[in-house]
Copies of this chain bind each other. A is one copy, B any other.
């Protein structure tokens, strides 16, 4: 009876994702710290479709794509920018693999909603197209973008995102600085405020950490622990190699 279950499951989940807190860690080049992992992850893939919509510091799609291309050239992978395609939905459907980079999450989500690209992205990810996200590109793998650190410089038509992992990400997670004299809220306070209005768990992903998703398995990777926040519970530290798949 057990094996039958596989055939009854109409929504077989094939996800293959890397969800990284940041593209760059201190004192290291663009994507450098994660290149060996990317090399393994993109094994057999020649070309990755890059979505440059988050525009860090407002740079152009073209410049951003060139920067990413340079980073990926070290592992022999060619980058093509989504903005260069007439039919963006088709480009996503046909992509060997997809990378969404960091920048401003509001700008990224605004553009993806405006072009109505969330449904096709979700579909190809669930069908197994390898997906890499860094920073804003990682935030959008969660239920919604309500735990981004970014400035709301543009009003997107919705805060809903890909919903391909069962919790939200807080990228670039920062521990409170006990020596700070600044009165602005700490990251932990902000996430607690989020839980006043929302039930979704939030994973604080420190720089240098990432998630590896294989089907239903979601593993924390890198050397650092992650900080998991749940409504009405004390936050806990999650060790590397922990699997968020409860089954």
A238 close to chain B: CB less than 8 A:
no
User: In the assembly, how many copies of this chain are there?
Assistant: 2
With known contacts A146-B152, A147-B151, A151-B148, A183–B193 Cβ distance under 8 A: no
| CA gap between A191 and B152 in the complex, in Å | 10
Contact-residue size bin, chain A (C-beta under 8 Å from the other chain) = 35 or more
How far, in Å, is A143 (CB) from chain B's closest CB? 13
Cβ contacts under 8 Å, A57 to chain B: 185, 189, 192-193
Is B191's CB under 8 angstroms from A151's CB?
Answer: yes
Tell me the interface secondary structure of chain A in the complex.
loop
Instruction: Name A residues whose Cβ lies closer than 8 Å to a Cβ of B.
Output: 22-27, 55-58, 103-104, 106-107, 145-155, 158-159, 172, 174, 181-185, 189-198, 207
Given the known A-B contacts A58-B192, A104-B193, A196-B55, are A152 and B148 also in contact in the complex, defined by CB atoms under 8 Å?
Answer: yes
| Residue on B nearest A105 in the bound complex, by CB | B152
Asked if residues B55 and A184 are in contact (CB atoms below 8 Å), the reply is no
Further contacts, 14 of them, CB under 8 A, given A58-B192, A146-B155, A149-B184: A24-B183, A25-B183, A26-B182, A57-B189, A57-B192, A104-B193, A146-B153, A149-B151, A150-B190, A151-B190, A153-B193, A155-B158, A182-B207, A183-B207
- Contact status of A155 and B150, CB under 8 A, knowing A182-B174, A183-B22, A184-B174: no
Q: Identify the closest chain B residue to A160 (Cβ).
A: B155
Complex alpha-carbon distance, A155 and B147, angstroms: 12
Query: Shortest distance in angstroms between A101's beta carbon and chain B's nearest beta carbon?
Result: 13
Complex Cα gap A146–B152 (Å): 5
Smallest CB gap from A184: residue in B: B172
A26 pairs with B145, CB closer than 8 A: no
A-B contact pairs, 7 of them (CB 8 A): A56-B193, A57-B193, A103-B193, A104-B190, A154-B197, A172-B183, A182-B207
Q: A158–B121 Cα gap in the complex (Å)?
A: 27
Inter-chain contact B154/A146, CB cutoff 8 Å: yes
- In this complex, what residue of B is CB-closest to A110? B197
